[in-house]
Structures are given as structure tokens and as C-alpha cells.
Amino acid sequence: MKLKEKFKNLRAVPLICDASMAEYTTYKTGGAAQVLALPQNINQIKDLVNFADAEKINWRVMGFGSNILAGGGGIEGVVCCLKNLKGMEIRNNLLISASGEAFDNVIASAVNLGLEGLENLSGIPGSVGGAVFMNAGAYGSETFDNIISVLAMDLRGNIKTLDKTFLKPYYRRVEGLENCIILSARWQLRQAKNIETLKARRLEILRRRTQKQPLEYPSAGSVFKRPKDNFASALIDKCGLKGLRSGGAMVSEKHAGFIINYDNASPADIKNLIEEVQKKVFEKTGVKLELEQILWGKF
Ligand SMILES: Cc1cc2nc3c(=O)[nH]c(=O)nc-3n(C[C@H](O)[C@H](O)[C@H](O)COP(=O)(O)OP(=O)(O)OC[C@H]3O[C@@H](n4cnc5c(N)ncnc54)[C@H](O)[C@@H]3O)c2cc1C
């Protein structure tokens, strides 16, 4: 039986067959996901996970696709996109947010209530689930700095609260969150001494991002992880690679750490450019740039 036919049994979960990943990722390019599921609540996610488990169907989970490059040859199985899993609550200094909320909206809400601890992460364009999974970071702060627990579902549909003490956050990854679906996260924030200073800090971070990053083009942020004692963008710039192109993909002139979809780039254009940058930087500096972005499917 074809995958699409099998999924007819899962009527309650919104599904799109052959969904173009160009519409679900910030690179705005990519092949089709065989099935894209857009669950709206935890029960629907549970149904989907149990169904995929019983039918032995491969599946992946995503948020806003702001760190994913989807191959032009498509993605087999199910992609479960949590962008419709909404809900946020702020009580005293405790912030609880569902995975599908925009991380930046959550940060804005906290800042407007005078709660500090997340403001340096302003402007990261992912979902809460994506930020937690990646331990997204910027300007000296990381998503996990003030997290107290994460609510997650395992591959059998069991839901558990994972206390921070059982999770090990590292640079752009968290040990203990592999193979699970993050449903929501809790942060313990602090009352700022001066709310106007806090709001100004957020605006300053947003201003710096607009000034330094090529936000006018589709991208998925920094392509590479920060090498030890160095910066990927500085190395790429030093090697004279700003403006380097492969098809419609280009190393940004504004920020060498970004590859932009300059002119209808195919996923292969972007992947080829990533590999060319890695090769040239290694030849000239001896540094192996490690990919931060996540490649999915066939290229
Ligand atoms: C312009 C721009 C600027 C950026 N700046 C920064 C920055 O300053 N710092 C930074 O760290 N990143 C930055 N990024 C990258 C990206 O925004 C972050 O990594 C973000 O946290 C990804 O969130 P997402 O929802 O888009 O995740 P996706 O791209 O959808 O997914 C990323 C990974 O997280 C997993 N995932 C997503 N949701 C869940 C979930 N609910 N449960 C389990 N796993 C999940 C996916 O399987 C995938 O492995 C930037 C990107 C862009 C486009």
C-alpha cells in the first residue's frame, strides 16, 4: 500500500502529500516531503507517532525550518511540522511555551513584562521547539541558560517531563533530547531592575542583527559551527570567499557565515557551495568547518 493510502486512516491529523519543503523552510528551496503532517495538539502528535511506529514509517520533526536544507530529491516518510502547536503562559517569573510558538514572540512577551534572561536571543527566527533542540544561542546567551524543564514525547508516544538536571546542553545540541519530540519548555526568568533598559537591550540586539545579517535574502542563518578559538565567518572572509557563487547560491557579502538563496538556488547549489567553502577554508587555513545546518533527504 502506498504511504498516502496508509495515511487515509489518520483523518484527524492535517496532512499534505508531496509537500514542497521550499514552503516550509527559510532557505525557500527544497524537494517534496512524501507526507507533511501539521498536528494542532498533543493527541494528534501521539496518534501520528503511534501510527508511524506501528507501520514502521520513517518520520522527522521540524519547527520553522530555519536551520534545515531539504534535498531536491525529496524526503521519504513523514515530516511532522509543529508550527501549529501553540500556547504560552507567563506566571510570576515562570514562562511556559508550546513548541510551535515563534521563539522571538515568546521573548518579546517576556521582555514586555519586564522578565529578563532571554533578551540576547531576540531575533532568532525559529520555533520554541527548534530553539530548545538546537540550544540556539547568540550574543553570549543560550536557550538552555534559564530552562528548568522540557516536556517531550518519545517514539512510542509516551510523554515525560525532562528536568534540566537530566539534560546536557552543549554548543547547538542537547544530550538527552535525541529521538524525542519536544512539546513545550519552561523557563525560570528574573524580574529586571529596569524594564526600559531591558527593552532597549532587545531593540539593540534586533538592530545589530539587521545591520550584520543578510535578512533581505532567504537563508538558514550561520552555515557552520564556530570553530575553537575562531569564527567561521572570519575564516571564510580571510579566504576571500565572500560573494562566491554556485548556481543561485552565494556566500553573503554582508556576513560570510551565511549562504543566501540569491537567485532561485536549488538545494544542490547550496550544498555544493557549502562543500566548496569547506574545501577552500581547509586548504588555506587547515580548519575543518563543521556544519551547523541540518541536511535532510536526497540531493
Ligand atoms: C536569519 C537567521 C538567523 C539565525 N540566527 C541564529 C542565531 O543567532 N543563533 C542560532 O542558534 N541559530 C540561528 N539561526 C538558526 C535557526 O533559527 C535556529 O537553529 C532555530 O533554533 C531553529 O528553529 P526551527 O524551529 O526553525 O527548527 P528547524 O529548522 O525546523 O529544525 C532544526 C532542528 O531541530 C529539530 N526540531 C525542531 N523542532 C523540534 C521539536 N519540537 N522536537 C524535536 N526536535 C525538533 C529538527 O528535527 C531539526 O533537527 C538563524 C537562522 C536564520 C534564518
Cell numbers 524543564 correspond to what residue? 149
Side-chain half-sphere exposure of 276, counting CA atoms within 13 A: 18
The residue with cell 501521539 is 46
Q: Please tell me the predicted confidence (pLDDT) of residue 187.
A: 98
The grid coordinates listed for 9 are: 486512516
Confidence label for 12 from pLDDT (cuts 50, 70 and 90): confident
Position 6 scores a pLDDT of 74
What domain range is 256 assigned to?
A: 232-296
Report yes or no on whether pTM surpasses 0.75. yes
Tens digits of residue pLDDT in 270-279: 999 999 999 9
Q: What is the pLDDT of residues 213-270, one digit of tens each?
A: 999 999 999 999 999 999 999 999 999 999 999 999 999 999 999 999 999 999 999 9
CATH code where residue 276 lies = 3.90.78.10
Mean pLDDT in residue range 46-63:
93
Q: Looking at the predicted structure, is the pLDDT value of residue 11 above 80?
A: no
Here the CATH number for the domain that contains residue 66 is 3.30.43.10
Quick one: 171 and 253 in the same domain?
Answer: no
Give the integer Cα–Cα distance in Å for 75 and 295.
11
Looking at the structure, tell me whether residues 165 and 192 fall in a common domain.
yes
Give a yes or no: residue 96 inside a domain. yes
For residue 100, report the distance from its CA to the centre of ligand 1, in Å: 12
Q: At what angle do helices 195-212 and 103-112 cross, to 10 degrees?
A: 150
56, 81, 106 - which closes a domain = 81
pLDDT exceeds cutoff 70 at 133: yes
Residue 282 Cα to ligand 1 midpoint, Å, equals 26
In a domain, 227, yes or no: no
The percent of residues in the chain predicted with pLDDT above 90, rounded, is 92
The total number of structural domains in the chain stands at: 3
- Residue identified by cell 514562562 is 95
**Ligand 1: distance of its center to the CA of 231 in Å?**
20
d(C-alpha 200, C-alpha 206), whole Å: 10
Mutate to test the pocket of ligand 1, among 133, 155, 206 (most ligand atoms within 8 A of CB): 133
Per the DSSP assignment, residues forming a β-bridge with 95 are 90, 187
The set of catalytic residues is 172, 222, 292
Average pLDDT over every residue of 129-151: 98
- Distance, C-alpha 35 to centroid of its chain: 20
Strands 15-20 and 59-62: unpaired
